[in-house]
Amino acid sequence: MLRTPEYDADLVILGAGGAGLALASRLAQAATSLRVIAVDVRTEYTDDRSWCFWADDAHDLRPIVSREWSDWTYQAVGGPAHAHRVDGETYQYVRGADFYAHARTLIEASDRVELRLGVAAGEVRPLHPSISRPAGEGVIVSTSAGEITARWVVDTRPRRTAAMLFQCFSGAEVEHGGALDLEALGIAPGAAGLMTGMRADADGLGFVYVLPLSDFTALVEWTRFSPTPLRASEVRAGRDAALAALGAPLGAPHVRVLREEAGVLPMGRVPDQRPARGNRFRRFSSVPPAAHAANGTHENAGSIPGVVVAGAAGGALRDASGYAFARIQAWARDCADRLARGEAPIGHPPEPFIRRQMDRIFLQALRAHPERTADYFAAMARGVAPARLLRFLTDRARLSDLLAIIASLPLLPFLAQLPDRSRALAASSVRRPDLVRALRGVRPESAAASEATAEPLEQVAS
């Protein structure tokens, strides 16, 4: 029972992964007296993922960037490779283990910020007004190690979500003795393969992501965009096939797996948290069932005063790409600055209207025409100047960039994804009679999708 109006901490961070550690480590460095407790259910950090992002030289995580590429490649199966390069920016690679170690070193050097591992956070609820200082302020978090009270909570625990598409991937960092055949994917020496070997069918797009880390090692990932989350074993089989096709089959004497990583990222999250029956998009949770039990009612946490939801759970993932690392770092910096000024924590900024609409229309077109997805990406890689495409991918697109992207894509499938009124407007302003007829006859994707996915929510993780 709480006997004192004091809080255990000014801020409690739930989940100390990419986002939680980014915020905690920035607060550890900040000039502030804030007391911070970060809890995570994991008992140790492993090299469970790597993060890539585009950046210049001027950022404070530069010391932990272990590899970077000036050129990155797009290629559809049987088609030419498109190498992109943008002056002043490289595709940079941070190992999970290095990021975790870096953040933990900063936290350990602080006597105000504490990281508690092996602690599962459960229910989050408001502190009762009669025992809080200003009525309505303060939060209690139940954890496996007892209750923690705080003025504010930043909750980064993964949660169930419905999405328009799922990016399912499985990768292995392998030692291949120089046998990896990058040429087969059109990847020039020294370049990275962003989306290579792209091929699409009625189930969606598949492609190989290759990061050559040295002459003898590489991270090779197989990725699929799918309307439903795929089983881990299915995606792993795609990865193994890709490795074999590139001359580095698992089990061969010259091939050794150094580490593995995998994930399912929602693209175009659908915020509705109600049961999925009648909801046209599939829900997915990357949280293991045990953590779900521990998480209790945390899916409502964002509606409690003083609680902010952040990280992938709070909208950090870019709808159209699944990239989040750079966005998480920017958020952590802003949020820490505000907290250091004595202000309340903030979540991720809302997506600007035009970007959100572009991403949604793009994802809807991918859902409606999965078999054409490789052509869409190849068309963008071929037809859009690298700097424009990069600005689009990194949230800096100008109107002219968006127009260039639209111009590179086939018009009809994308116009068909516009909401009814906009589609009617587009049809009435288009002068080509064949297009007008086609647009009027198009059945909106939403209707088709609702039939396909109106099923009860099921956990489909691995």
Q: Give the interface with ligand FAD as residue ranges (CB under 6 A).
A: 14-20, 39-42, 49, 51-53, 120-121, 156-158, 261, 263, 265, 287, 291, 294-295, 311-313, 316, 323-325, 328
CB of 235 to ligand FAD, least distance (A): 12
Smallest separation, CB 328 to ligand FAD (Å): 6
Query: SS3 for 268-279, per residue?
Result: EEECCCCCCCCC
Q: Which is nearer to ligand FAD, 290 or 407 (CB)?
A: 290
* Nearer to ligand FAD (CB atom), residue 190 or residue 289: 289
Q: Give the nearest distance from C-beta 344 to ligand FAD in angstroms.
A: 20
**Apex 457 CA angle, 275 and 443, nearest 5:** 85
To ligand FAD, the closest distance from the beta carbon of 412 in angstroms equals 32
Residue closer to ligand FAD, measured from CB, 293 or 448: 293
- 11 or 16, CB closer to ligand FAD? 16
CB of 410 to ligand FAD, least distance (A): 28
Q: Which is nearer to ligand FAD, 15 or 370 (CB)?
A: 15
230 or 439: CB nearest ligand FAD? 230
**Smallest separation (angstroms) from ligand FAD to the CB of 222:** 13
Residue nearest to ligand FAD (CB): 17
Angle at the Cα of 386 from the Cα atoms of 382 and 387, rounded to 5 degrees: 150
Which lies closer to ligand FAD via its Cβ, residue 59 or residue 372? 59
Nearer to ligand FAD by C-beta: 53 or 362?
53
